Chains A and B, each alone.
Chain A
Amino acid sequence: MSVADQAPRFASPADQRMWSERIPAPWWILGLILLLLPIVANNFWLFQIMGWTFILGMIGLSLMFLAGYGGMVSLLQMSIAGLAGYMVAILGPSGAANVSLGLSWWIVLPAAFLIAALFATMCGALAVRTDGIYTIMITLAIAAAFFYFTRQNYSIFNGYSGFNLVLPPKLFGVNWRDPLPFYYLTLACAALCYGAVVYLARSPFGLALQGVRDNPRRMAALGFNVTAHRVAAYALASVFASTGGILLVWQNAQIAPGTIGISSAIDVLVVAVVGGMRRPLGPFIGAFIYVLLQVFSTDILGFFGFSADRFKLIIGIGFLAIVLFSPDGVLGLWDRWRARMAARKAVATGGGA
């Protein structure tokens, strides 16, 4: 898995262009489409489909950062997102006035990020001592423990019912839960997280993380503290997960143990794998596919006379197909298709000459 070969190398002095010139045309087009989408899309698409896609994409992105660059498959990312969301509900105002503290947003948000980062660091410190399947097992165990804890603890997490009426602050007089503002809010957060991961991949920390993934023993022989590097990656990835988690709470206006259940934890893995774990764009594509399936499979299944609960079946079959035919996800399919097209073109022009 070499992620770095797809990015320009910082060390080559040839690339003296402005940052805006270095972004290829398809990105500008994608950006323009996303910015202008509200002209054509209705509120359901903006709020439910796109909003949820961006949120799920950010949580998947935190997994992609750990797994794609660090080689650590963590099933914890939904728990970390959920903890940040819970903190917003617990520290800020909510419908459960007996539990929520009702502090103002400028204390609540930094505290939510910080507490989630602390939790991620602690769990990371446990998980990085294991490898491969054991990392998956230990993070799954922590996720399950956290789920049952929130369900049984009433003094902090308000148990089974969780928190409702958790609303975003009305900053600048905007109701951020209205579809249009919420769409732009999630879009901006997703773009920032995406950009941060792309940037970090070529920073010393990101490069070293990829080095740790490929050859930890050599990294130690170069003076890197491999364990510390992995734990730091968990802390950093928590920022992306927390951003998604907080937006998720605002979108649903509530959070309950069901949000962070085992199946949600696995959904994050499905999203990242379906989209592709090698590049930061993957989780967003995976999230889009997942959300479309989740939302519309009900109609399609109903049309064929199946129960709407069967949408997981469709996702499961899709997941199987992806894992079987393209281990690096939809993006991998796309890469291979482009390579084949390029090869065919080369043959055609070669034959013509």
Chain B
Amino acid sequence: MNAPVVSSRMNLPGTGNASSGNALELRGITKMFGALAAISDVTLSVKPGERRAVLGSNGAGKTTLFNCITGDFLPSAGLVRFFGEDVTVFPPHERIRRGLRRTYQISSLFTGLSVMDNVYLACCGVSRNRFSLVRPRPDDALVQAAEMLVEAVHLTADKDRLVGELAYGQQRQLEVALALSGAPRFVLFDEPAAGLSPTERADLVTILTSLPAHIGFIIIEHDMDVALRVADSVTMMHNGRIFKEGRSDEIESDPEVQELYLGGGHAHH
């Protein structure tokens, strides 16, 4: 394992610009499913606080990349560093406790529990309270943290409702809230705007752009309006490989990119 110089063990937000200076560093990540390479030789680094959009057609390997970063899959080859620490073989929960968070493309919530309970669970997961056998009091710090998160994603009015009863857009908002619990340092958003109405999209952009500056993220998003408004830089993926990287405005005007991915209507707005 790594030398203890790496400050990520302290689990504090914004302190993790140790040796490498990168929040997330991928080197030569390859993931094989049988003979099929879902992603091959992906090398990528994101600085603390940086906001990166990952674009690419379906099957380009974007979600597989996320799964390798969070540890849902172990990569077949390559290295994942999180704030300087080699986390390649860590189980997911160990990465989460170091400040990594993610959302899911298809909402992955606890539908039998209330909104508050969902967020409260998320807050427990990254605290020492996860094994507590004592019920929290209403003034418990984690309950209050959960209430603030519920407010941050504009769900306060529905906080006692069962998640299964929520509208689709609200479930997407809750999905974001779960990823912001505890002290996140880096978040992976997997198509957070998928299926949202234009108003809800605007709402989501507000939530994402008003995140504290030290929280960096990678966002997979098909909607260029959303992606380019929240991200500083863009990584294009194609057939499991990185195809192009650059600042948002460069990528937007790149003719090759337009031909491959943006097609007609998207590019000019």
Residues of A within 8 A of B (CB): 1-5, 9-13, 199-200, 202-208, 210-211, 214-215, 217-226, 229, 232, 236
Contact = CB atoms under 8 A, between A and B. Distances in A.
Contact of B125 (A3, A224, A236): A224
A60 B104 CA distance: 37
Contacts of B146: 11
B110 interface: yes
Among B130, B134, B146, B182, max chain A CB count under 10 A is at B130
10 contacts: A9-B114, A11-B116, A11-B117, A11-B147, A204-B142, A218-B104, A220-B93, A223-B96, A223-B182, A224-B130
A236 B122 CA distance: 22
Given A204-B132, A207-B113, A9 B91 contact: no
B108 interface: yes
Given A11-B160, A218-B104, A225-B91, A205 B130 contact: yes
Interface residues of B, number: 45
Contacts of A229: 130-131
B96 A13 contact: no
Among A199, A205, A208, A221, max chain B CB count under 10 A is at A221
Contact of A11 (B93, B138, B164): B138
Contact of A204 (B91, B110, B124): B124
Given A11-B116, A211-B110, A222 B160 contact: no
A222 B122 contact: yes
B130 A208 contact: yes
B143 A226 contact: no
Interface in B57-105: 70, 72, 91-93, 96-97, 101-102, 104
B126 A223 contact: yes
Contact of B113 (A4, A13, A232): A4
B120 interface: yes
Interface string B111-151: 11110110011101110011111111010001100110000
Contact of B131 (A12, A204, A217, A223): A204
B113 A218 contact: no
A9 B129 CA distance: 18
A9 B121 contact: no
Contacts of A217: 72, 108
B47 interface: no
Interface of B: 70, 72, 91-93, 96-97, 101-102, 104, 108-114, 116-117, 120-122, 124-126, 129-136, 138, 142-143, 146-147, 159-160, 162, 164, 178, 181-182
B121 A5 contact: no
Given A11-B146, A203-B135, A207-B121, A222 B108 contact: no
A221 B70 contact: yes
A73 to B, nearest CB: 19
A98 to B, nearest CB: 41
Given A1-B112, A2-B164, 13 more contacts: A2-B162, A10-B135, A10-B143, A204-B131, A205-B130, A205-B132, A206-B133, A207-B121, A210-B113, A217-B72, A218-B104, A222-B178, A222-B181
B91 A203 contact: no
Given A4-B112, A214-B111, A214-B112, A223 B97 contact: yes
B132 A214 contact: no
Contacts of B70: 221
Contacts of B134: 203-204
B124 A220 contact: no
A190 to B, nearest CB: 20
B74 to A, nearest CB: 13
Nearest to A225: B93
A11 B115 CA distance: 10
B113 A211 contact: yes
Given A9-B116, A11-B120, A222 B125 contact: yes
B126 A210 contact: no
Contact of A5 (B102, B112, B182): B112
A11 B143 contact: yes
A9 B160 contact: yes
A199 B121 CA distance: 16
B92 A220 contact: yes
Contacts of B164: 2
A203 B112 contact: no
Contacts of B116: 9, 11-12
Contacts of A200: 133
Contact of A10 (B122, B125, B129, B136): B136
B93 A224 contact: yes
B162 A5 contact: yes
B124 A207 contact: yes
A3 to B, nearest CB: 8
Contact of B102 (A215, A219, A221, A226): A221
Contacts of A225: 91, 93
Contacts of B138: 10-11, 13
